[in-house]
């Protein structure tokens, strides 16, 4: 069903990004076309090309916006949660929220198609994961320093493990349509970092 056409250029650009993001999270980047977005929004393909000359430019804009929202969410986690384990739980809940919306992580979907993406998009996907791993690494370092987290190995390696586990758990839970499978993985993952009850009492 077509969505009512936005009344202004800024609204049109935002609506295009919303539609394309939804399509990527359901079908993948190679699974949709400008025609799909145009039909959903009730606009012409020429209007899409006005805002995004090519699909690569649209893809870069999608990742930039998604990464910006994710960075804002990480900043909120830092502000709202003092205990490191609760920050990890809040981080996992970002993925759970996406899954509950019957979508996949945008950059996780794009990573699966990495070899077929335009070159500029490839780097922005890498940048997204690098930012997440850097944030998790700092969290793990701080948690180890104040003894609120326990884990073995380098924080950088553990950060990669967390991202890989969450992205993989989303992928496996998707065909079942059951977030409980994802939540079970999160519970097991967090249990490896210490006793949640003890961490909350610090």
**How many independent structural domains does the chain possess?**
2
Per-residue pLDDT, averaged over 74-97, amounts to 93
Considering the domain architecture, whether residues 44 and 113 belong to the same structural domain is answered as: no
Average pLDDT, whole number, for the chain? 91
Considering the domain architecture, whether residues 39 and 97 belong to the same structural domain is answered as: no
- pLDDT 10s digits, 3-27: 444 446 678 999 999 999 999 999 9
Number of other residues whose CB lies within 10 A of the CB of residue 19: 20
Per-residue pLDDT, averaged over 95-117, amounts to 96
Considering the domain architecture, whether residues 94 and 118 belong to the same structural domain is answered as: yes
Q: Which residue has the higher pLDDT, 183 or 81?
A: 183
Considering the domain architecture, whether residues 73 and 34 belong to the same structural domain is answered as: no
- pLDDT 10s digits, 19-63: 999 999 999 999 999 999 999 999 999 999 999 999 999 999 999
pLDDT of residue 194: 72
Q: Following CA atoms 191, 192, 197, 202 in sequence, which dihedral angle do they give, to the nearest 10 degrees? A: -150
Considering the domain architecture, whether residues 105 and 145 belong to the same structural domain is answered as: yes
Is residue 173 within 8 A of residue 179, CB to CB? The reply is: yes
Task: Please say which residue of 53, 72, 90 terminates a domain.
Answer: 53
Considering the domain architecture, whether residues 38 and 106 belong to the same structural domain is answered as: no
**CA pair distance 113, 117, nearest whole angstrom:** 6
Per-residue pLDDT, averaged over 128-152, amounts to 95
pLDDT of residue 125: 96
**CA pair distance 176, 164, nearest whole angstrom:** 19
**CA pair distance 105, 171, nearest whole angstrom:** 9
Q: Residue 43: which domain range?
A: 1-53
Considering the domain architecture, whether residues 75 and 40 belong to the same structural domain is answered as: no
Is residue 152 within 8 A of residue 140, CB to CB? The reply is: no
Is residue 113 within 8 A of residue 100, CB to CB? The reply is: no
For residue 196, pLDDT over 50 is answered with: no
Token readout for 38 is 């145009």
Give 117's contacts (C-beta < 8 A, 6+ positions apart). Answer: 29, 59, 110, 125
């Amino acid at each position: 069903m077509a969505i009512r056409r936005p009344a202004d250029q800024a609204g049109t650009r935002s609506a295009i990004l919303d539609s394309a993001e939804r399509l990527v999270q359901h079908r993948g980047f190679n699974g949709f076309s400008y025609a799909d977005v145009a039909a959903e929004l009730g606009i012409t393909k020429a209007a899409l090309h006005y805002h995004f000359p090519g699909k690569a430019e649209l893809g870069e804009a999608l990742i930039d916006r998604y990464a910006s929202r994710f960075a804002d969410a990480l900043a909120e986690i830092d502000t709202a949660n003092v205990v490191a384990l609760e920050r990890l739980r809040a981080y996992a809940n970002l993925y759970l929220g996406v899954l509950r919306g019957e979508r996949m992580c945008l950059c996780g979907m794009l990573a699966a198609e990495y070899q077929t993406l335009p070159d500029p998009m490839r780097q922005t996907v890498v940048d997204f994961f690098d930012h997440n791993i850097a944030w998790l690494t700092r969290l793990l370092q701080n948690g180890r320093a104040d003894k609120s987290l326990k884990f073995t190995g380098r924080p950088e390696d553990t950060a990669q493990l967390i991202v890989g586990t969450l992205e993989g758990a989303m992928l496996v839970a998707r065909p079942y349509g059951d977030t409980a499978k994802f939540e079970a993985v999160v519970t097991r993952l967090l249990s490896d970092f210490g006793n949640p009850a003890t961490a909350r009492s610090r």
